[in-house]
Amino acid sequence: MSLAKSNIPAFVTLDDLAARVSSGSRVTVGGHHFARLPIALLHKIVERGVSDLNYFAWAGGLPLELLLEAGAVSSIDICFSSLDIFGLAPRFREAAEQGSLPVTDWPALAMIQGLRAAQQNLPFMPVQLPEGSTMLERCPAISFYRDPGTSRVTGIVEAQVIDTVLLHAPRADTAGNIEIYGAKALDLAIVGAARQVLVTVEEIVPAGTLQQNGRQTIITRNLVSAIAVVPGGAYPASCLPYYATDFSRIRDILEGRHGTLRQALALPDGPLPRHLVKAAKVRPEDVRPEAFRPETGQSGEVTPDELMAIQIARMLDDESFASAGAVSPLGNVAFRLAKSTHAERMFIGTFSCGHVDIAPGTMTLSLLEAMDAGSAVSHNGGDDTYSTYYQPGIVSHEIIGAAQIDGRGRTNNLELTKPSGGRLRLPGQGGMSDVANMHQHYMVYVPRHSPMSLVASVEEVSSARGLISARDREAAGYRPGHIYLITNLCMFRFDEAQDQLVVILTMPGVERAKIIAETGFPVIFAADCSEMSPPTERELRVLREIVDPLGLRRLEFVGARDRGALLDEILERDRRGTMTIVGER
């Protein structure tokens, strides 16, 4: 099946670009999270009434929500679907819970290898199995191969050909080459696996200009089908170095304050907000934490989110390689805290390792992407990140949140049974079913310790460590390490002899009886279990005043009733701080 394209991409209008998308086709969206999403192109496709699409992508999020609202999707293949700090994706949840559309959950590596097989004109590719999880039962594209010499079982994933890739990028040149700045997500893999690649860009520049632009990624013109110039085509998502994400606008859109998604995501008539245009060009050294601090400061009693962030940071050292997951403010804050205090030489990857070896800096919303892209030693994609860092077992730590976890360290981020008996769909596991085994240490956190989260047995095993013993891990090419669970009450570590998680540390002032009462599996305390040492004055100062003055870590610790007010507070302080930094106040 030929995927060959022309050496001469067509330069067309946005309407013409959208007209190339056919009903009944398999469509993939480029970009990641709230960065470089082809919003204007998706909006135009929805206007045309395209239907019966197979949405095949690493992430769902805002693009999938728009297509679902329009009734344009007939089936979904994803690794996860979330709206980042704004929580669960309601239209995806509704479709999955009601069973109105078939949903196939993919391990991230299996999806990558399926795309690579198509890219390399192969019928299939090998893939490490997500041992310990039940994800193989949810992904029929994976089969098995047993090596006759070693008896080792490896996965085989079928080639996944894409009909159409929808992509937004900063620039194209007059020859049709496309430039990407910053994290690449899976853009190179999906482009290579696609029959046609449709791209919107901020501007066209003369041929030869792209080579003079420093660090960037080029998609060469013979991989591109057609290009339309659409300034602001990713808004309210970002497109570095032209504009940063408008989180306040996204908050309003998701709350329905601008009508339907189709109405709210129309291409802006006027110029984009000036502070976001300037924010996209901010240098890491320009970001001053004092601009984001609350007027009253963050002094006072130490909170559970602070205790957990500090304890995670204490587990890291100069030899750590910590990867910040897709939606994990707590992990991101803890990693930056460690690098800012005692682990200066540690290695951090953010944006799912799209920005590699970053400076710790200050956690913000509007400035974070530009700051991390600017300080990163290299810019990566999800595909090369896996082969370079995850699959060889180089990453030491990545901490993920779990909706459920049981005494053997098995997690569930797929779906739960509601008290009414119905199903509650969760975002999905992303890549955690893979990296649970690949990382040296498998680390899980639960912000609110309760019998509903720490259960006797998880309903679905979205990720778990199947390779536990040092012998098994070394045989598979991974470093020996531990399984950890940290909560607002205590920290557990898996004990092979007990075959379950045991408590090794209690949070200050927490009684053992409370831990037992709030845990849904039998609690064992290690013989050397101790109480966490109180945070030092320096740890609290750096955490509160330098690393996370906005208090983003708090978003994972509040209930639904209080979350809206906290989001509004953070968004307003982020806006004011950003405007101060870029000189708009």
Q: Which domains does the chain have, with CATH numbers?
A: 10-105+161-264 (3.40.1080.10), 289-556 (3.40.1080.10)
Segment 505-532, tens digit of pLDDT: 999 999 999 999 999 999 999 999 999 9
For the chain, first and last CA: distance in Å?
Answer: 57
Listed in sequence order, the residues at least 6 apart from 504 whose beta carbon sits closer than 8 Å to its beta carbon are 491, 492, 493, 526, 528, 529, 530
DSSP conformational letter for 251? H
Work out whether the CA dihedral 246, 94, 158, 3 comes out positive or negative: negative
Alpha helices by DSSP H, listed for 265-328, are 274-279, 304-314
The type of residue at 434 is: D
Angle made by CA atoms 427, 428, 433, in degrees to the nearest 5: 155
Check pLDDT > 90 for residue 20: yes
Which stretch, 33-47, 370-384, 417-431, has highest mean pLDDT? 33-47
pLDDT on residue 1: 44
Reported as a pLDDT band with limits 50, 70 and 90, residue 149 is confident
Per-residue pLDDT reduced to its tens digit, 398-430: 898 999 999 999 999 999 998 888 889 999 988
Q: What is the mean pLDDT of the chain?
A: 94
Query: Given 3-state DSSP classes, what are the helix, strand and coil percentages for the chain, each rounded to the nearest 5?
Result: 30, 25, 45
Query: Does the pLDDT value for residue 170 go beyond 50?
Result: yes
Output the pTM of the full model: 0.95
Q: Give the pLDDT mean for 315-322.
A: 97
> What whole-number distance in Å separates Cα of residue 78 and Cα of residue 103?
8
Give the ranges where 426-559 is alpha helix by DSSP (H).
432-438, 470-475, 512-517, 537-541
Contact between 162 and 27 under an 8 Å Cβ cutoff? The reply is: yes
Nearest Cα to Cα of residue 280 among 316, 334, 238: 238
d(CA 75, CA 54): 5
Overall average pLDDT of the 66-95 stretch:
95
Closest CA to 18 of 212, 228, 242, 177: 228
pLDDT of residue 569: 94
pLDDT at res. 4: 61
Identify the residue with better confidence: 5 or 357.
357
For the ranges 33-42, 313-322, 430-439, 552-561, the lowest mean pLDDT is seen at 552-561
For residue 531, the one-letter residue type is E
Going by pLDDT thresholds of 50, 70 and 90, the confidence category of residue 109 is very high
Taking alpha carbons only, the member of 369, 305, 407, 325 closest to residue 108 is 325
> 296-310, 343-357, 523-537: which has the minimum mean pLDDT?
296-310
